[in-house]
Amino acid sequence: MKQRTSENVLLDTALQNFYGAAEELGLDDGLIEVLGNSERKVCVSIPVTMDDGSVKVFNGYRVQHSTALGPAKGGIRFHPDVTLDECEALAMLMTWKCSLAGIPYGGGKGGVECNPLDMSKSEKERVARTFAARIEPFIDSWTDVPAPDVNTGGQEMVWFVDTISKMRGRLDPAVFTGKPVTFWGSQGRTEATGLGVATCALELLKVLGKNVEETTVTIQGFGNVGTYAALTLQEAGAKVVGISDITGAYYCKDGIDIKKAFDHVNEQPQKLLEGFRQPGLEKMNGEELLFLDTDVFIPAALEGAVHKGNADKIKAKYIVEAANGPVTPEADAILKDKNVLIVPDFLANSGGVIGSYFEWAQNLGGYFWSREEYNERLLRIMRDNFQRVWEFSEDRDVNMRRGAFMTAIMRVADVVRMRGVFL
């Protein structure tokens, strides 16, 4: 069987990881062909009147990789580098992430090629509403349920839901997740992904017999995921010595006051670390954070942060992937030779999609949980999933990435066999 390849690094990485795991599982060529391609790829143009009266047309995308297990699930990002190939790669990863999490979702992903940092709030609203209107025929609470991603959040989800609901003449809150608590959102959703990442890091330390209080951590990216991962790990006793965002990296050998950094970011208009100060804090180039001598490194920024050009400089013993695809296959091979243990992205950062599942279920039922109930269920699932992949990987003598892929692919393949090719 001829395997697909792509010039897009992220898509090629997703495909090669899939093909390697599928062949090791012994899947037949027909199943590999089906799961190696996306069910639907939607491209839309988004004409928007800007504040100065000019008209700009942005490109928008929505990819549904698989709906074998249930509605497609995955975020929508606003970023200048959004492409169709990127969305397809991330949609495929969402398929495996949802399968591995044991929730009734397939994989989807979307985005708009724009720079929200250069746009006013009203311009962002017009982009969001027009994009929602253009993809409306393809999304529904039982078909495709998008969520926030890079540069989108609760406000964008409200615009999306409001637009779709007005077009359909009825409120449909379950069609998007990641909404504010005041508008059909769930208590606990904001910190779910970061809490899940931290939980996987803590479970890894537990199975390795490491003392959390003697563990140092660096985190690339101090957005929503990196922030709550840092807060959770520090509360558990770990020492977070390095954090970063687009303004640079911030290092303190005695540990960073994460609560103080969190408060500083929330006080800034663009939510950045620029200007953060504390005794003993050293500012450095953003990439230097990757090369600090630390126990756990958590890449929580964009994909491809660790690649063949810098992987040999990594000094961390363990990597817990919070971003999607932060380590390229070439870097993976280099890190394997260095005996760096990696907890893969679609296991480590699945707290967000599990939290989205909780919100969706609550929306459909019209009944909301307390934050304590939400977090208790989330932590239980994350711990169970980590243990399942760890044990599978140990039994099969494969690394955690391959073990996670094999576990996830098996579940989807079994359902595709039962449902047949015509889906």
| Residues annotated catalytic, as ranges | 109
3-state helix, strand, coil in the chain (%, to 5): 50, 20, 35
Closest Cα partner for 230 from 194, 206, 183? Answer: 194
Alpha helices in 114-191 (DSSP H): 121-135, 154-168
Contact in structure between 44 and 78 (CB atoms under 8 Å): no
Distance CA 417, CA 35 (A): 11
Residue 343: Cβ within 10 Å count: 25
Q: How many Å separate Cα 96 from the centre of its chain? A: 12
Residue linked to tokens 């969001």: 128
Residue 96: Cβ within 10 Å count: 30
Tokens describing residue 219: 């985190």
What strands, in cross-sheet order, belong to the sheet with 296-299?
282-284, 248-251, 239-245, 216-220, 296-299, 318-320, 341-343
